[in-house]
Amino acid sequence: MPGFELFGEKEKAEVQQVLDTGVLMRYGFDGMRNGQWKALDLEKKLEERMQVEHAQLLSSGTAALTVGLASAGIGAGDEVILPTFTFVASFEAVLALGAIPVLADVDDTLTLDPDAVENAITTRTKAVMPVHMCGSMADLESLKQLCSKHSLLLIEDACQAIGGSYDGKPLGSYGDMGCFSFDYVKTITCGEGGALITNNTEFYQNADHYSDHGHDHIGNDRGAEGHPFLGYNYRISELNAAVGLAQISRLDDFLEIQKRHYTIIREALSSIPEITFRSVPEKGVENYSFLSFYLPSAQKAKAAQLALGSAGIDGCFYWFDNNWHYHTKWDHLKKLTSLGPLSKEVVEGLPDYSASNFSKSDHWVGRNISCLIKLGWSAEEIQKRAADMAKVLKEIL
C-alpha cells in the first residue's frame, strides 16, 4: 500500500487508450469511443473479484458511502451507527443526507464493538456501518445477527481494506452493500475514485441513477433519458477508471507483497513480550496494508511513536492524536460547525458527544500504533526496517 508505488506500463497503456479517443466522460459520445468503456470494464472486474452481482463506480470513497446510503433510502433524521475510530468521510456521508451519525465504541479489533452497537440502537436507527480500518474487519457475523434482529442494513465501509475477507467472502460483500475508496493512497488507486458493490438490484439501480443526476440510462440518447428521481453528480471519469482497471489486475500481487512485508515486521516485534497485536476475527483475513499493535499504556504508545519517527522510521501512526481519524479531534462534528444552516433533524438529533463516554475506545486506540506496509520496499529495506523497529521499541519498553 499504496498502489501508486508500483505504477507502470499497464496504467500508462490504459490511460493512453482513453486519451487516444478523446472521450474522458464515462457516459455518452458512443461514436467517438472506439469501443473504450473503462468504467464499465472496471465495474465488471470488481463484480468478478468481489463475487457480487453489481458494482457502481463513483468519484470517491466518500461518494460511494453517500450514494450507498441514499440508494438504500436513508435520509433526514435516520440514524446510522459508526465507530469512534474511522475517517471523517464516514460521518460526512451521513450528514450530507441529513441523517444522524451515532458513534459507538470500538474493541480490540479497532472496529465496531457489537455490544456497543446494540446499546446504541434506537427506533430511528436504519443502518450499522462497520469501518474496516487499516486493513482489518469487525466481528461481522455478530453485527449481521444484530442487523437481522432489528431489521437494519449492514453497510461495510471497506475503503481501507480491499482484498481482505471474512468467512470466505471478500470484504464489502458480506453485508447489504460495501464501499471502497480508490484515492491516491489506497492499496489500488484510480488517483481519485470509489465504488459501491451489492447483490441488491434495487440499491444498484438507485445508485446508477442517483450518481448521474437521476438519469435512468435507458436507450442510447443521453439527452432523452428519463429522470425517475432527483440525483447528483458523483460520476467517475474514464481517465480515473483506466488507472483503476490496470490496478485491479495487480491487486492479488499487491496483497502478496503486503503480506510478506507485514509478516517480516510482525515476526520481529513478536519477540517483545510487552507488545500485543490487534485482534482479527477468527473468520477474517486482513489485507495486510497496516500492522497494528498495542503497547502497555497510552504513554508508552505515544513515546514509541515519537521514538520511531526520531529514528527515521516513517509511516507509524498514533491515531489517538490524529485530526482525521479519532473522535477526540472532531470538534467540527460535535459543534456542527457548518458553512450554512443544517437541517432541524441534524441539529436536534445529533447526540451530545461532549457528554459521551468512549473510554473503551480510548483504552484500545490510546495504546495502538499502526504501521503502514509499503509495496516498494526492497528485501534489504524490509529486513532493516523490522530490525530497527524492534530495537527502538525494546529501548522504549
In this structure, what CATH number is given to the domain that contains residue 256? 3.90.1150.10
Residue 49 structural domain: 3-250
Does residue 235 contact residue 26 with C-beta atoms inside 8 Å? yes
Measure the CA dihedral 151/153/154/157, to 10°.
Answer: -160
Does residue 229 contact residue 240 with C-beta atoms inside 8 Å? no
Question: Can you give the pLDDT at residue 1?
Answer: 79
Picking from 231, 250, 269, the residue at the C-terminal end of a domain is: 250
Short-list 267, 299, 316, CA closest to 396: 299
DSSP-H helix ranges across the chain? 9-21, 38-50, 61-71, 89-96, 114-120, 140-150, 201-210, 238-248, 251-269, 298-310, 331-334, 344-349, 359-365, 379-396
Q: Which three cell numbers stand for residue 146?
A: 444484530
**Which residues are bridge partners to 128 per DSSP?**
81, 154
Residue 134, helix vs strand vs coil: helix
Short-list 258, 261, 244, CA closest to 1: 258
Distances 26 to 70, 217, 248, 368 between C-alpha atoms, Å: 21, 12, 18, 42
pTM: 0.97
Does residue 56 contact residue 43 with C-beta atoms inside 8 Å? yes
Q: Which three cell numbers stand for residue 356?
A: 459521551
Short-list 253, 263, 251, 219, CA closest to 373: 263
Residues 267 and 385 in one domain: yes
Residues 233 and 330 in one domain: no
| pLDDT tens per residue across span 188-235 | 999 999 999 999 999 999 999 999 999 999 998 999 999 999 999 999
Picking from 250, 272, 307, the residue at the C-terminal end of a domain is: 250
Length of the chain: 397
Residues 217 and 317 in one domain: no
Residues 244 and 261 in one domain: no
- Distance in angstroms (rounded) separating the CA atoms of residues 195 and 177: 10
What residues of the chain score a pLDDT lower than 70? none
Return the CATH number at 170. Answer: 3.40.640.10
Long-range contacts of 180-183 (CB under 8 A, 24+ apart): 180/61, 180/64, 181/60, 181/61, 181/62, 181/64, 181/89, 182/61, 182/240, 182/244, 182/247, 183/60, 183/61
Catalytic residue IDs: 186
- Distance in angstroms (rounded) separating the CA atoms of residues 197 and 175: 10
DSSP letter string, 234-271 = -PPBHHHHHHHHHHHTTHHHHHHHHHHHHHHHHHHHTT
How many domains does the structure of the chain reveal? 2
- Distance in angstroms (rounded) separating the CA atoms of residues 78 and 28: 36
Residues 382 and 328 in one domain: yes
- Distance in angstroms (rounded) separating the CA atoms of residues 261 and 131: 24
Residues 310 and 345 in one domain: yes
Residues 199 and 276 in one domain: no
Picking from 223, 250, 277, the residue at the C-terminal end of a domain is: 250
Residues 244 and 227 in one domain: yes
Residues 59 and 139 in one domain: yes
Residues 223 and 85 in one domain: yes
Residues 126 and 20 in one domain: yes
Residues 62 and 171 in one domain: yes
347 by Cβ neighbours in 10 Å (0-12 / 13-18 / 19+) ranks as exposed
